[in-house]
Structure formats: structure tokens, C-alpha cells
């Protein structure tokens, strides 16, 4: 179009998008007012008020999308219809709720991502907006069916991937490519495996798939939410803004170390210990450790009662143990069976001795009266309780595992490798988490403790109801002396239980907060990033969290560092979803410059010659460089890099082995991307730590180049300035 025509179109688009923001702001104000009113409200039942508050809270979060790029494009159909595409859907309430902005996930929006000149999907034109904040700066058009029309304009894509990164990963909602869109919208109820090298966008594609599933399967998924598993808290913080920017919040972000609520991971396993704990063979060790605590007395244990002394002998304990194990109940719950058998034997023996010469079984009433007295005595007997605690103790996952790790004798009894032995058994590692989670099911609940807690809670509730009833009576008495027009408050307080609920604390946590605090919570969908690092035991935990087996699995087997990780996807998934998982590769590198990939590919060829690195679609014009310095010169070399990057736009990081001042460890940057990176002593990184550490350095991550030739210590290696697609925290 002419320059004048373009300017007129641009003004019209700016006005339209400004109107969308006006509508969005009005919706935000309206929903916030309704939310505040619902929090203060007294109408309806407590449950009705709670439902209203939660629904309005979700709507507030849906509207709290990124202000930048609310609307990022337009589709023109062959019939002349204009469809504006954006992060969320907005409707014209005055015109039969006609859409004024289509959600990018709506079926009508799909041509925006997949239409081509060869297959225009009924479209005449695709228009892409370039915005700064709320203002449309310019736009580009692609006319389908016109001579010389390209398959897909790449101006918006290249602008996005070349832009400096800020704090956190950005969504790609405006620049999703056709191969990515196919994966995002894939209709598969089981497990989807997305594999691709660094820079292919597999993580952000998985997150957009979550947003798509939450949009298309809202009713099925919203009550249970989605779990996203990442390799580190830093990584989760890095990706955490993507889904909220798309209007989705019912998502829980965790590492595998967070899967047992309340547990703190403070230690690190040796590679051998991690391998042992990650194998399914550890299940036999755990079962043996539990069985080892179900004991028989070496000598009969005397229990002194008022009129007789009875003894728990090995034969009685063995019968009780066999019955308890045969019940199929978890250890702590099976204690009731064990106790019942032992109690039966002891009372039978006591009655026989006390009633010798005068009591027969025909005298059932006297027999049962005596049994009742003996049962009461046993229940109050500290000796009997101590004997039960010795023979069939109530166990906790943490206590059992800590005692196993600190006792060579218990390790031998459980058939465990001595590599698991450590001085402090309660300093937990990431590899301990799936074991502790397994023990929750093996041990079960302490029913007695739970009943006691429930009884205390019921007493508290009754006390609050009694207090509320007193308040109600006082209010009614006061208002009896008032005029009729002042009677509204008294009639509002009709039930003491309702008033007690108002005095009590209401659970205002959202779904994500409630799910994260509940070990037994199950999710409708689970995303696993860097999935190649997960062990067999990790997968067992995650499958327990998602009974429907609906997963999006993201990884790259060539990047596996953990000795307990995946060597094939089938090995990890076939035991749980045979025939229900599909594989989709990503082969195009949208993020990493070709200069970086050339260096990374040379190292990849050394240990994985069968792996084809992804092909980069862009170059940055700067090749990685290396520099050798002395030990004394190293701090100045690092400072030189930091100072040079401090004045530039984007993110940067210094990566090095332990002990390098100002550097982060390679493991802490897993999954992250930066605009510039300095790698300190790469050969030491290769030589130390995990036997697979080379894969950390190898990753064709634009910010982790390896030196082109081995350099003796001390040395530094770095990249030139690059333009990756995703940002992370700046390390100055």
C-alpha cells in the first residue's frame, strides 16, 4: 500500500487496539469491585460465598495478562471479516457478546499460525503488529495467493529472537511457528514427548500447550490444575511469567525436590548413591527396611496387670505379625491388626489364669466382663504400649530413612549397598524425595494420631459455635429493644454455625497454593522439563500425582547429566503408559546463533556422533572466543567481562567450577539463556564432578561455548555477544 494508505491503516489499528485496552481496564475494575464485595459479603451460605470468591479470583487473574501485546495480529478472511488475535478473548457486551478479540487458542485463531500461501486456510491476509507497551508501533502484512508471496513472513519472528532478554522467559504467542503450533494443539490424551536441542523452543512450546489445554478442557482441568516440574528454582522463576501472561494461573511449579511438602533438600548425593536411589531396585530395600522394624521378641516380654502377669512371646508376636502383613494394610495401619491379635492372646491367657477353678467359658457374661476389664488395663499399661512400640512401632518416612542411612546393620538387613551410608541421615537430597514419598504409602497414616487431631478440631468447632450462639443471643436481645427498622442485622444471623464460620479463618488460598501444600493432591496434567534427568523413582512419584497419565514431557537425551536419568523414553514410560505415548521432535533452532552452534556441534560429535544438532535460523555476526590467563590474572579477566556487559542491554552471566568468585555453577544455569556468557576454566568443569559433566558444557546453548582447543589451567573462555530468545537473571 502507499505510504499514506499505510499511515491511515496504522492510525485505525492503533485506535482499535486502544479500544481493546479500554475494555480490558473496565473489565478489571468491574471484576475487582465484585471480588472485594464478595470478600466482604454476608449473603448466602459459607460455601456459596467461597465459590463466588474463588470464581472472581480466577477471573481477576485471567484479566491480569501482560499489557504489552494484548493484541498482536489480525486475520482477514476471504469474505472480508477481520479477526483480531490476542492473549485472551474479549467480547462486546452490547452486541450479543460478539468477540472483539479472539483468544489465540480459539479454533478460529489457528490460521494465524499455520496459514501459508499454498494453504491459506480461507484467509486473505495475515497482519502482525509490533507494539511497545500498549501502543502499536507498526505492522507487517502477508497476502495469501498474491504473486511472490512467501510461505511465512519472518519479520516478527526475527525481531523476537534477536531482541535482548530481560528477567524471565517470554511467551511466543505472537510468533508461534507451524511446527510448534501442531504440537501445542495436538489432541492426545496420554503422554506427549517433545525432544529437541537447546534453542528449539521446546520449553515454551510445552507451556503454551498447557495454556491451550486449560482453554480447551477448562471444566476437566480447573478443579485439579496442572503441575510443572523443572530442574531448579531458578529455572522455575525464569519460566514462571509465561502462563500468567497468557491469563492462566491454576498451575503449580515445583522441582522434584519439592514433591514432599515441608521437606527441605540441603545435601547432595554422590553419583553412585544417586544411581542406587534412582533405580526401582530401591523399592526392595525400602520394603525390607519396613519389614525389619516388624520384630519378634528375643525373650518373652512381661506385662504386669492388677491380678496377673502375662507375657508376649515370640510365637504370639509371629502370629500377630503374619496376620498384620497378610491384611495388606500399610505398616502403621496394620499395627491395629497386630495389636488385636496380641491383645486377644494376652487376655485369653489372663482370664484362664485368673479364673482357674471357678470360671468356665459357659459363663459368657462373667468371661466378657473380665475381658473388658483386662482390655482397659492393657490400654492404660505403659509396659504394653512400650512393647508394641518395640515390636511394631509407628514409623515416619523421615525417621525410617534416617535410621537406615546411619546404620550399617540396618543397611545390611535391608540388603542395601553401603554407598547409601552417611553420617547425617536427616540431611535430605533430591534423590531422597521419591524414597520418602514411597514410604508415605508403605507406612500409611497414624490413625490414632489423626483421630486425636480430628477430635480436637471438632471440640474447637463446637466451642466456636457455642461462642457464636452466645453472641447471637446477645444481638437478638439488644435488637428486641430497638425499632423494627433496625431488625435487619439480627435476621441475618440466623444460625450459630454460620456465625462461627464468619469468626473463623476462611481458606482463601488459591488452587495452586492448596495443591502445593497437599502431598495427596492429584493433577489433571503434568509438564516435565529437562525430563532426561529424572530417575525411575522420580517417574514413579509423578505418575502417582497424575492418575490420568496426561503428561507433556520435554527433554533432550543428548543432554543427560544424571547417571540415574533416562537413556531412552520408552524405558521410563512404557511401564506406565504402554502404547499411550507419542514422540514429536523439534529440529529448528530459533534461538541459538549459528556461530555458537558450530562450536557446540564439534563437542557434541565427540560423545554423541549419532545426534544431529538443530539447525539455526539466524546468525549474530560474533564468534565465540577463548583466552588463557594466569591464576593472578583471572579475577581481572572476569571483572573486565562484567564491566563490559554492565553497560549493555540484555542479560549476562559468569559460569565456573566451585570456588570461582562471582561465578555460578553450570548446574544452576540449566535451561536458562543469556545474551552473553563467560565460561571460566572449562577444562576443570569437564574434569570435576559428575562423570557426565561434559554434557553440561556441551549443550549447544548459545551461552555455553566450549574452547575450540584444550587449554591448560588457568584459562577463561567466553562467547561474543549473542541474542538468544529467552532471558534470565542478570549476573553482574
Exposed, middle or buried by CB within 10 Å (0-12, 13-18, 19+), for 376?
Answer: exposed
Of the candidates 396, 432, 395, 438, the one whose C-alpha atom is nearest the C-alpha of residue 545 is 438
Q: What b/e string do you get for 255-270 counting C-beta neighbours within 10 Å, with b at 16 or more?
A: bbbbbbeebebeeebe
Judge contact between 104 and 91, C-beta under 8 A: no
**Annotation-wise, does 360 bind a ligand?**
no
How many C-beta atoms surround the C-beta of residue 463 within 10 A? 11
Q: What b/e string do you get for 201-231 counting C-beta neighbours within 10 Å, with b at 16 or more?
A: bbbbbbbbbbbbbbbeeeeebeebbbbbbbb
Q: Which three cell numbers stand for residue 505?
A: 479463618
Of the candidates 687, 693, 200, 660, the one whose C-alpha atom is nearest the C-alpha of residue 679 is 660
**Annotation-wise, does 230 bind a ligand?**
no
Instruction: Give the CA distances from residue 530 to residues 244, 317, 639, 701, in Å, rounded to whole numbers and listed in that order.
Output: 21, 49, 32, 14
Q: Which three cell numbers stand for residue 330?
A: 500399610
- CA 214 from centre of chain: 16
**Annotation-wise, does 447 bind a ligand?**
no
Q: Where are the alpha helices (DSSP H) in 116-217?
A: 155-162, 178-184, 202-216
Judge contact between 681 and 660, C-beta under 8 A: yes
Q: Which three cell numbers stand for residue 445?
A: 497414616
Quickly tell me which residue has 433496625 as its cell: 486
- The answer to whether the Cα torsion of 416, 422, 425, 427 is positive or negative is negative
How many C-beta atoms surround the C-beta of residue 614 within 10 A? 24
Quickly tell me which residue has 492448596 as its cell: 514
**Annotation-wise, does 200 bind a ligand?**
yes
**Annotation-wise, does 197 bind a ligand?**
yes
Local structure of 124: helix, strand or coil: strand
* Alpha carbons 547 and 518: distance in angstroms, whole number: 16
**CB-based contacts of 173: which residues, under 8 Å, 6+ apart?**
69, 72, 87, 104, 208, 245, 246
Containing 716, the helix (H) or strand (E) segment is strand 716-718
- Using the 8-state DSSP alphabet, how is residue 128 labeled? E
* Alpha carbons 516 and 510: distance in angstroms, whole number: 10
Mutual orientation of helices 397-405 and 432-443 as an angle, nearest 10°? 120
* Alpha carbons 227 and 526: distance in angstroms, whole number: 5
Q: What are phi and psi of 682, to 5 degrees?
A: -60, -35
- The answer to whether the Cα torsion of 363, 367, 370, 372 is positive or negative is negative
**Annotation-wise, does 385 bind a ligand?**
no
Q: What are phi and psi of 718, to 5 degrees?
A: -150, 170
Q: Which three cell numbers stand for residue 576?
A: 506406565
Local structure of 127: helix, strand or coil: strand
* Alpha carbons 526 and 431: distance in angstroms, whole number: 20
* Alpha carbons 575 and 569: distance in angstroms, whole number: 11
Q: What angle do CA 640, 643, 647 make, to 5 degrees?
A: 145
* Alpha carbons 587 and 668: distance in angstroms, whole number: 26
**Annotation-wise, does 133 bind a ligand?**
no
**CB-based contacts of 115: which residues, under 8 Å, 6+ apart?**
75, 121, 123, 126, 144
Judge contact between 201 and 173, C-beta under 8 A: no
**Residue 127, beta-bridge partner list:** 74, 141
**Annotation-wise, does 32 bind a ligand?**
no
Known binding site for ATP: residues? 196-203
Known binding site: residues? 196-203
Amino acid at each position: 500500500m502507499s505510504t499514506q494508505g499505510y499511515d491511515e491503516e496504522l492510525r485505525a489499528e492503533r485506535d482499535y487496539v486502544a479500544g481493546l485496552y479500554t475494555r480490558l481496564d473496565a473489565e478489571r475494575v468491574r471484576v475487582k469491585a465484585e471480588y472485594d464485595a464478595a470478600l466482604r459479603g454476608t449473603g448466602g451460605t459459607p460455601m456459596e460465598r467461597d465459590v463466588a470468591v474463588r470464581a472472581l479470583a480466577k477471573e481477576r487473574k485471567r484479566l491480569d495478562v501482560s499489557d504489552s501485546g494484548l493484541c498482536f495480529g489480525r486475520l482477514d478472511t476471504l469474505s472480508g471479516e477481520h479477526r483480531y488475535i490476542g492473549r485472551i478473548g474479549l467480547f462486546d457486551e452490547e452486541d450479543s457478546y460478539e468477540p472483539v478479540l479472539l483468544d489465540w487458542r480459539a479454533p478460529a485463531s489457528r490460521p494465524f499460525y499455520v496459514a501459508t500461501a499454498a494453504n491459506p486456510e480461507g484467509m486473505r491476509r495475515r497482519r502482525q503488529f509490533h507494539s511497545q507497551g500498549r501502543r502499536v508501533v507498526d505492522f507487517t502484512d502477508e497476502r495469501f495467493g498474491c504473486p511472490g508471496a512467501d510461505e511465512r513472513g519472518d519479520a516478527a519472528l526475527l525481531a523476537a529472537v534477536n531482541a535482548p532478554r530481560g528477567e524471565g522467559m517470554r511467551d511466543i504467542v505472537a510468533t508461534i511457528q507451524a511446527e510448534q503450533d501442531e504440537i501445542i494443539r495436538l489432541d492426545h490424551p496420554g503422554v506427549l514427548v517433545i525432544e529437541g536441542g537447546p534453542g528449539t523452543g521446546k520449553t515454551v512450546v510445552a507451556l503454551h500447550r498447557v495454556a491451550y489445554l486449560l482453554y480447551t478442557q477448562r471444566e476437566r482441568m480447573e478443579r485439579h490444575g496442572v503441575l510443572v516440574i523443572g530442574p531448579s528454582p531458578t529455572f522455575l522463576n525464569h519460566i514462571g511469567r509465561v502462563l500468567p501472561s497468557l491469563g492462566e494461573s491454576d498451575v503449580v511449579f515445583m522441582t522434584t525436590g519439592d514433591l514432599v511438602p515441608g521437606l527441605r533438600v540441603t545435601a547432595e548425593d554422590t553419583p553412585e548413591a544417586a544411581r542406587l536411589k534412582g533405580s526401582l531396585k530401591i523399592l526392595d530395600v525400602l520394603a525390607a527396611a519396613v519389614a525389619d522394624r516388624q520384630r519378634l521378641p528375643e525373650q518373652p516380654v512381661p506385662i504386669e496387670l492388677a491380678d496377673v502377669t502375662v507375657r508376649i512371646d515370640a510365637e504370639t508376636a509371629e502370629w500377630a505379625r503374619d496376620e498384620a502383613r497378610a491384611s495388606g494394610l500399610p505398616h502403621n495401619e496394620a499395627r491395629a491388626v497386630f495389636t488385636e491379635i496380641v491383645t486377644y492372646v494376652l487376655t485369653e491367657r489372663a482370664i484362664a489364669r485368673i479364673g482357674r477353678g471357678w470360671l468356665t467359658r459357659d459363663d459368657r457374661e462373667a468371661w466378657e466382663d473380665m475381658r473388658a476389664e483386662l482390655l482397659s488395663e492393657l490400654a492404660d499399661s505403659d509396659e504394653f504400649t512400650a512393647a508394641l512400640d518395640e515390636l511394631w512401632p509407628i514409623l515416619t518416612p523421615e525417621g525410617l530413612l534416617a535410621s537406615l542411612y546411619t546404620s550399617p546393620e540396618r543397611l545390611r538387613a535391608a540388603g542395601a549397598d553401603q554407598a547409601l551410608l552417611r553420617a547425617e541421615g536427616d540431611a535430605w537430597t533430591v534423590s531422597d524425595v521419591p524414597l520418602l514419598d514411597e514410604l508415605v504409602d508403605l507406612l500409611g497414616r497414624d490413625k490414632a494420631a489423626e483421630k486425636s487431631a480430628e477430635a480436637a478440631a471438632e471440640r474447637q468447632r463446637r466451642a466456636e459455635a457455642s461462642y457464636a450462639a452466645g453472641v447471637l443471643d446477645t444481638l437478638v436481645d439488644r435488637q428486641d429493644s430497638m425499632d423494627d427498622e433496625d431488625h435487619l442485622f439480627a435476621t441475618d444471623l440466623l444460625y450459630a454455625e454460620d456465625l462461627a464460620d464468619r469468626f473463623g479463618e476462611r481458606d482463601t488460598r488459591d488452587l495452586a497454593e492448596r495443591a502445593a501444600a497437599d502431598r495427596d493432591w492429584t493433577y489433571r496434567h503434568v509438564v516435565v522439563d529437562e525430563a532426561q534427568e529424572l530417575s525411575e523413582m522420580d517417574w514413579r512419584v509423578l505418575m502417582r500425582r497424575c492418575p490420568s497419565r496426561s503428561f507433556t514431557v520435554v527433554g533432550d537425551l543428548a543432554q543427560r547429566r544424571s547417571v540415574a536419568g533416562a537413556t531412552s523414553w520408552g524405558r521410563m514410560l512404557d511401564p506406565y503408559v504402554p502404547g499411550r505415548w507419542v514422540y514429536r521432535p523439534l529440529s529448528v533452532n530459533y534461538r541459538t546463533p549459528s556461530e555458537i552452534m558450530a562450536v557446540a556441534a564439534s563437542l557434541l560429535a565427540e560423545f554423541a556422533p549419532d545426534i544431529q544438532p538443530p539447525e539455526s535460523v539466524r546468525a549474530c555476526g560474533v564468534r565465540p572466543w577463548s583466552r588463557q590467563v594466569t591464576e593472578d590474572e583471572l579475577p581481572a579477566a572476569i571483572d573486565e567481562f562484567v564491566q563490559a556487559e554492565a553497560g549493555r542491554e540484555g542479560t549476562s552471566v559468569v559460569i565456573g567450577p566451585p570456588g570461582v568468585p562471582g561465578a555460578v555453577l553450570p548446574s544452576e544455569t540449566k535451561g536458562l539463556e543469556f545474551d552473553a556468557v563467560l565460561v571460566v576454566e572449562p577444562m576443570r568443569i569437564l574434569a570435576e564432578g559428575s562423570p557426565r559433566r561434559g554434557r553440561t558444557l556441551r549443550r549447544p546453548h548459545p551461552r555455553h561455548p566450549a574452547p575450540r582447543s584444550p587449554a591448560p589451567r588457568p584459562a577463561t573462555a567466553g562467547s561474543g555477544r549473542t541474542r538468544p530468545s529467552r532471558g534470565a537473571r542478570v549476573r553482574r
